[in-house]
Chains A and B, each alone.
Chain A
Amino acid sequence: MPGYSFAGLRIYAEGELPLPPGAEPWDLFIKHREFSHDANDLVQDAVVLSWVVVKDHYALRAGGIDFVLREQLLEVNRPLESAADMIVRAALGFVAVTRGLCSFHGSAAARTGSAVLIVGNKGAGKSTTVTGLLRRGWGLLCDDLVSVNEGIVSPTVLNTRLLPDVWPLLGGDSQALPGADGKFALSFPAATSTRLKATIVLRVGDALAQEEVTGHRKLQMLLPHLNNLPGVGDPAARLAAAAQTVAPLRVVMLTRPVQRLALDEVLDAIEAIVSDVSEKEK
């Protein structure tokens, strides 16, 4: 018989969980809601993405759902690629939520069977960091929207969007013009679906530092970066799925100095973390 030691309910935190913000309601409206709740993965959704122009609107069909971009967000006759870049991530995020998949606002890359997910607040350097990994030979899984299904990350959006100041540093054409969101896009070859080995919470601080995050703090760190659609699905089930998704992950909070990008040091740290996880699994 197991030992008996009763300590009752212990409260780790009196505050509220950092539940993720909802999707911006003005991003998209949904034309039809006839879609399947069957388990699916976003690779298939990405494959079946198709674009049509309906009168003055751009419409995107993803996973059986038609998304129509509201005209005030898009000048008529804007190039289709630009429209796609603006809304495809939001559309895939919606598909993921409706299918009960956990998707994070972050970037992911993979190498030799190990995937890493990078999350962080706006301006932390997610896309820049993942682009740095790509230049070191990693393959791109996704930028901006990362869907994790039973520990596996599948490739979805295969370009990174970079702020103008880091665009030339990471191999972008200096003559290019930014897209509708003011960022430049770099395309990369896709990695195949890969098991997630580590999640990096990227922050800006005084100096380069890293800290392993365990237990309930993983939820504190990662829930704010989960894509969320208020009113869609069962919140308790989604929270449970998020906990189940993050529970087995190695989560490291990585702080980069605010004064400089320190990209090489950050990349070295990430590669060491992923390598360490892979070694421990052997």
Chain B
Amino acid sequence: MLVLSDTLSISQIDNEAVVLDAATGKYFGLNPTARRIFEVLQKTRSEEAAVDVLAGEFAVDRERLTKDVAAFIDLLLAKGLAHRQP
């Protein structure tokens, strides 16, 4: 299970979606697609379930979507914004 840090919040400020981390004070900008992936991951807590949801929302082939979601999760883990739970 993928768990996004509970110190994160996401806000739309003008044309930027900004993820704020209250624990570290860092903030990150997301493009609209990445914002949606983030929101779905927050809800589903699962890579596979997120791909299922997003595949119904975007006109993109599943293979590319799976790859992008995996890359996004790797980045979230690397930045300490998420962790995996068994």
Q: Is there contact, CB below 8 Å, between A10 and B11?
A: no
Q: Is there contact, CB below 8 Å, between B33 and A16?
A: no
A26 at the interface (CB under 8 A from B): no
- Stretch from A192-200, A232-240, A269-277 that touches the partner: A232-240
Given A13-B26, A235-B22, A247-B11, answer yes or no on A215-B16 (Cβ-Cβ < 8 Å).
Answer: yes
B15 at the interface (CB under 8 A from A): yes
Which residues of chain B have C-beta atoms less than 8 A from A11's C-beta? 26, 28-29
Residues from 13 to 32 in B contacting A, C-beta threshold 8 Å: 13-16, 18-20, 22-32
Q: Is there contact, CB below 8 Å, between B27 and A13?
A: yes
Q: Name the distance in Å between A171's Cβ and chain B's nearest Cβ.
A: 39
Q: Report the contact-size class of chain A (Cβ under 8 Å from the partner).
A: 20 to 34
Q: Is there contact, CB below 8 Å, between B29 and A5?
A: no
B40 at the interface (CB under 8 A from A): no
- The distance in angstroms between the C-alpha atoms of A94 and B22, with both chains bound, is 20
Q: Is there contact, CB below 8 Å, between A236 and B6?
A: yes
Q: Is there contact, CB below 8 Å, between B7 and A235?
A: yes
- The distance in angstroms between the C-alpha atoms of A5 and B64, with both chains bound, is 11
Q: How many residues of B contact A (CB 8 A)?
A: 38
- The distance in angstroms between the C-alpha atoms of A238 and B7, with both chains bound, is 10
Residue of B nearest to A17 (CB): B25
Residues from 202 to 218 in A contacting B, C-beta threshold 8 Å: 214-216, 218
Which residues of chain A have C-beta atoms less than 8 A from B15's C-beta? 214-215
- The distance in angstroms between the C-alpha atoms of A133 and B30, with both chains bound, is 39
Which residues of chain B have C-beta atoms less than 8 A from A247's C-beta? 11-14
The 0/1 profile, CB within 8 Å of A marked 1, for residues 55-86 of chain B is 00111100001001001100110010000000
Residue of B nearest to A10 (CB): B29
Residue of A nearest to B60 (CB): A4
Which residues of chain A have C-beta atoms less than 8 A from B20's C-beta? 17, 219, 236, 239-240, 243
A244 at the interface (CB under 8 A from B): yes
Q: Is there contact, CB below 8 Å, between A8 and B75?
A: yes
Q: Is there contact, CB below 8 Å, between A8 and B7?
A: no
Which residues of chain A have C-beta atoms less than 8 A from B6's C-beta? 236
Most buried by A among B14, B23, B24: B14
Q: Name the distance in Å between A277's Cβ and chain B's nearest Cβ.
A: 14
Which residues of chain A have C-beta atoms less than 8 A from B24's C-beta? 16
Checking A5, A6, A219, A238 against B18 with a beta-carbon cut-off of 8 angstroms, the contacting residue is A219
B8 at the interface (CB under 8 A from A): yes
- The distance in angstroms between the C-alpha atoms of A240 and B27, with both chains bound, is 12
Q: Is there contact, CB below 8 Å, between A215 and B13?
A: yes
Residue of B nearest to A218 (CB): B13
Q: Name the distance in Å between A157's Cβ and chain B's nearest Cβ.
A: 29
Q: Name the distance in Å between B34's Cβ and chain A's nearest Cβ.
A: 6
Q: Can you spell out 23 A-B residue pairs with CB atoms less than 8 angstroms apart?
A: A1-B59, A2-B32, A4-B59, A5-B31, A7-B34, A9-B19, A9-B28, A12-B27, A13-B27, A16-B25, A17-B26, A17-B27, A214-B14, A215-B15, A215-B29, A216-B13, A216-B27, A218-B14, A219-B13, A219-B27, A239-B20, A247-B12, A247-B13
Known pairs A10-B34, A11-B28. 4 more at Cβ < 8 A?
A9-B28, A12-B29, A235-B7, A247-B12
